[in-house]
Amino acid sequence: MRPLQIALTKGRLEDSTISLFERMGINCDAVRQKGRKLILPIGDGSVEVVLAKAADVITYVNHGVCDLGVVGKDTILEAGGSFYELLDLGFGKCRFALAGPVGRDFFAGYHTKTIASKYPNVARSYFEGKSMNVRIIKIEGSVELAPLLGLSDAIVDIVETGTTLKENGLAVIDSICPVSARLIANSASLKLQKAKIESLVSRMERAKEEQA
C-alpha cells in the first residue's frame, strides 16, 4: 500500500508540524535535512511529507493527490474546498481583522467604502454579514500601503502582534475571527485509508494536549 501523503505548508507551519511529529516519536530527519527535495518519508516510511505553498496544499488535498494537509484557517476561509477539517493544531495563531487609519471613524458617513485585502473572499463575507456594500481591491503585497496611499478606507488582513499596523499609523477597527493551523483530509482518503488516518489523528491530538 502506498504511503499516507500529508501536504505541509512550507515555512513556519512546516516547522511546527515537524516538531509535533517528533513529539509523537516520528523520526523526521529526512525533512530536517531535506535540501531541495519536496517529497520526503518520515518515520518508517509509511507516511510521506509533501512540501507546498498554502493554497497548493488545499489544491492537492481537494484533488486527492495528498490524503491530508496542514494549512492555516486563513487559507481555508479564502479558498474553500470539499475537504474535511479534522483538527485544530493549536499553532500558527493569529486573527483576521479590519484595520484602518488611527483617529478615523470607519463606520461614519454613507459613501461606499473601499477595502484592500489579500483575502477578498474573507473580506466580502465579513461585510455581507454586516449588510454593508463595499468595494474590494485585491492586494498581493503589503496591504498596509493601500490606506496610506489613499487607495482604500481600510484593510482586511491577518494580524499577529499589531506592530506593523501601529508602525504605519493603522489600528484594528474590528476583530473578524481567530486563525490557526488546521489538519484537513481528502474525503475519499478518509474512507480508503480510514484506519491509518484515524490512528495518526489520535496521536497528533495526544501530542498536542501534552504540549498544552
At 193-211, the pLDDT tens digits run 999 999 999 999 999 988 7
Q: Per-residue pLDDT for 110 more than 90?
A: no
- Tell me which DSSP letter residue 162 carries: S
State the amino acid at position 78 in one-letter form.
E
Please indicate, yes or no, whether residues 80 and 38 belong to a single structural domain of this protein.
yes
- Exposure class string for 12-36: b at 16+ Cβ within 10 A, else e: ebbebbbebbbebebebebbeebee
Please indicate, yes or no, whether residues 105 and 184 belong to a single structural domain of this protein.
no
Q: Domain containing 137: what range?
A: 94-178
Asked if 147 contacts 155 with a C-beta cutoff of 8 angstroms, the reply is: yes
Please indicate, yes or no, whether residues 100 and 163 belong to a single structural domain of this protein.
yes
- pLDDT at residue 212, rounded to an integer: 65
Grid cell locating 174: 474590528
CA 210 to chain centre: 23
Please indicate, yes or no, whether residues 109 and 48 belong to a single structural domain of this protein.
no
In terms of DSSP bridges, do strands 113-117 and 154-159 run parallel, antiparallel, or are they unpaired? parallel
Span 62-80, average pLDDT: 96
Please indicate, yes or no, whether residues 61 and 38 belong to a single structural domain of this protein.
yes
Please indicate, yes or no, whether residues 19 and 120 belong to a single structural domain of this protein.
no
The domain total for the chain is 2
pTM: 0.92
At 150-171, the pLDDT tens digits run 999 999 999 999 999 999 999 9
Grid cell locating 137: 481591491
* CATH code, domain carrying 123: 3.40.190.10
- pLDDT at residue 1, rounded to an integer: 73
Span 177-188, average pLDDT: 97
Please indicate, yes or no, whether residues 154 and 102 belong to a single structural domain of this protein.
yes
Cα 55 from Cα 30, distance rounded (Å): 24
Please indicate, yes or no, whether residues 72 and 138 belong to a single structural domain of this protein.
no
At 45-58, the pLDDT tens digits run 999 999 999 999 99
